[in-house]
Amino acid sequence: MGIFSIFPDRASTTAGEVDALYAFLLVVGIVMTIVIFFFVAFFAFKYRRKDPYYRPKAIHGSLPLEIVWSVIPFLVMLVMFAWGTKLYFQNYTPPRKDTLDIYVVGKQWMWKVQYPDGQREIDELHVPTGRAVKLTLASEDVLHSFYIPAFRLKHDVVPGSYETYWFEATKPGRYHIFCAEYCGTNHSEMKGWVTVMSPNDYQDWLRNGAPEESMAAQGQKLFDHYGCVTCHVTDQQGRAPSLTNVFGHLVQLEDGRTVIADEAFLRESILNPSANAVKGYQANIMPVFQGQINEEGLLKLIVYIKSLSGPNAAPEAPRLNPDGSVPPAKLVQKQ
Ligand code: CUA
């Protein structure tokens, strides 16, 4: 693979479709340009002034013509809209189950990658082929954008929230990672490599980089370090809700809302507890961790809290009871 190529490799399941849509837009654009320029030139020639005394007849429009040149472009645009929307939702909605979760923090000017098993890398990402990989993206400082041209995927990394990015790599190799949003002096240096490996090679790679501790174990240490454990007593009545089987489940809040405890909910609850007071608990007794903990630490805590739920506790859309009411939250204060 060269340093530069007009068309990067196609190395993900969606790359082909993105290229097809791109080709469609390009062909429509080129054909329309040719047709329009042809008629501009043709009519300019046909209706040129042949005789200084000739006065053409005035024309007052044509309804059929108006309809034809409105409806045809409209239908072509609808195809673009429908196709683009389908691809957009397909590419930006990660599968709910069985994803390989990897955590990426953008920081001026590097990408820090953490794996659930505890491996860490900077400006390098290793993934297997044939497996849906879900990246949770966070920014430590300013707006960045995570871009892997070979996967035809790009996603802004917004400070203060989690963004998700998913792909399934198809072709082993090494491909560029870029930052695609101007983020300061060394924006152009904020790049790296994604290495796509066969599942077997990937297992070997994971084993060889054997880390001391999984992300969840590191998160548990932080959980103890910050004293979370004194109130969030596991499986018992503490001053704060137990965190067992919280991730991926519905939570009832003091203000009447019922929300899913996903990564974003946990993040906000740690940084600013009063925003998400859980029904039956006082949120104001919990310290505010905004500014106390960095994004990497937060991700470790969240992976730890995730590990307290069943292995299949992926966030799901809330399901209402048949009568339209909200089912009881899993996280309720025990009597
Ligand atoms: Cu980060 Cu540009």
The segment with the largest mean pLDDT, out of 148-152, 217-221, 232-236, is 148-152
Q: Is the CB of 157 under 6 A from ligand 1?
A: no
Nearest partner of 180 among 170, 165, 167, 195, judged by Cα: 165
- pLDDT, mean of residues 25-48: 94
Q: Is the CB of 104 under 6 A from ligand 1?
A: no
Q: Is the CB of 180 under 6 A from ligand 1?
A: no
Question: Could you give all domains of the chain from N- to C-terminal order, each with its CATH number?
Answer: 15-49+59-91 (1.10.287.90), 100-208 (2.60.40.420), 215-307 (1.10.760.10)
Task: Determine the atom of ligand 1 nearest the C-alpha atom of 108.
Answer: 1
Gap from CA of 179 to ligand 1 centroid (Å): 4
Q: Give the pLDDT of residue 311.
A: 58
CA–centroid distance for 236 within its chain: 35
- pLDDT, mean of residues 26-40: 95
Gap from CA of 125 to ligand 1 centroid (Å): 17
Beta bridge partners of 250: 260
Residue nearest to atom 1 of ligand 1 (CA): 144
pLDDT band for 66, please (50, 70, 90 cuts).
very high
Q: Is the CB of 81 under 6 A from ligand 1?
A: no
Residue 85 pLDDT greater than 50, yes or no: yes
Task: Determine the atom of ligand 1 nearest the C-alpha atom of 157.
Answer: 1
3-state secondary structure of 328: coil
User: What's the mean per-residue pLDDT of the chain?
Assistant: 82
Gap from CA of 192 to ligand 1 centroid (Å): 12
pLDDT band for 41, please (50, 70, 90 cuts).
very high
Task: Determine the atom of ligand 1 nearest the C-alpha atom of 106.
Answer: 1
Residue 5 pLDDT greater than 80, yes or no: no
CA distances from 1 to 127, 172, 202, 262 (A): 18, 12, 21, 39
Q: Give the pLDDT of residue 323.
A: 53
Q: Give the pLDDT of residue 3.
A: 62
Q: Which are the contacts of 308, defined by CB distance < 8 A and separation ≥ 6? A: 234, 243, 244, 245, 246, 247
Q: Is the CB of 179 under 6 A from ligand 1?
A: yes
pLDDT band for 182, please (50, 70, 90 cuts).
very high
Report pTM. 0.73
Q: Is the CB of 183 under 6 A from ligand 1?
A: yes
- Give the model confidence (pLDDT) of 134-173 as tens digits: 998 989 889 999 999 999 989 999 988 888 889 999 989 9
